[in-house]
Amino acid sequence: MSPRLVCHRGASLIAPENTFAAADAALDKGAHMIELDVRESADGVLYVLHDQTLDRTTDGSGPIHHHSAAQIDALDAGRWFGPEFEGQRVPRLDAYLDNLRSRGAGAYVEIKWCDAARCASILRDTGMIDACFSFSFKPEMRVAMRAAAPDLRQMVTLSIARNVSVAKSLFGASLIEIEAAECQPAIIAAARAEGLEIMGYTESDDSQVFRRYRDAGLDYINHDHLDVALSVLEKQP
């Protein structure tokens, strides 16, 4: 079976990242899942936004947690990328997940910083908890999400776990993410022995990386270059 394709922030090379336009473009092209980032407004509304500040991807400025939901909802999140995307908004997490569910897609939910219980509630209320897995680079967020959503699959990177053997016992993970240099037979075998799913991550457009992940039998590829991924997976080894 071919790896499932996880589009990093949606189709972020052809549409503004972490917007409905980017998610829909990725799914239209053949992605299976969307990676998204979660942050919280000053008044407790969860949004899909990568950066701590609004400056890079909206016409607002300053930290997202300094702004109310009403202020964030009024921002343009598409014009910076191209005039044709003017009017795209910073998606609220619940609406974004509703859209993914309506399209039969899953989600890799990266928690940047938010109330974990609120995030878990949204995942359940949207009916998406079984179609998602979660991760955070912040240890506090990983612990909080495990407590708030013990039924949600957790991912950990090999760089954080260091050894595959502790991915489950120490991090509660059912999925481990590796990079190209870590795609080694011993690591793959160890992960399979632990019953872990494996996701390869790459920012590269080098088709050799995608072939390496495909040939290693990985379950997911988290990437930016969907056209390259599709071209590799559609061809025989």
Q: What is the mean pLDDT of the chain?
A: 97
Counting Cβ atoms within 10 Å, is residue 208 exposed (0-12), middle (13-18) or buried (19+)?
Answer: exposed
Residue-wise pLDDT tens digits, 180-194: 999 999 999 999 999
2: domain CATH number is: 3.20.20.190
User: How would residue 237 be classed by pLDDT, with cut points 50, 70 and 90?
Assistant: low
- Together in a domain, 55 and 1: yes
User: How would residue 236 be classed by pLDDT, with cut points 50, 70 and 90?
Assistant: low
CB 219 within 8 A of CB 200: no
216: domain CATH number is: 3.20.20.70
Of 86, 121, 150, which marks where a domain is finished?
150
- Together in a domain, 110 and 34: yes
Confidence at residue 234, expressed as pLDDT on a 0 to 100 scale:
87
Of 150, 184, 217, which marks where a domain is finished?
150
The domain tally of the chain equals 2
- Together in a domain, 121 and 196: no
Q: Which residues contact 166 (CB under 8 A, 6 or more apart)?
A: none
- Together in a domain, 146 and 156: no
Structural domain boundaries, residue 180: 152-237
SS3 201: strand
Residue 163's CB: how many other CB atoms inside 10 A?
10
- Rounded to whole angstroms, the Cα distance separating 177 from 173 reads 10
- Together in a domain, 165 and 205: yes
Nearest partner of 194 among 227, 220, 219, 168, judged by Cα: 168
Instruction: Provide mean pLDDT across the span 193-219.
Output: 98
CB 235 within 8 A of CB 210: no
Confidence at residue 235, expressed as pLDDT on a 0 to 100 scale:
76
- Together in a domain, 183 and 200: yes
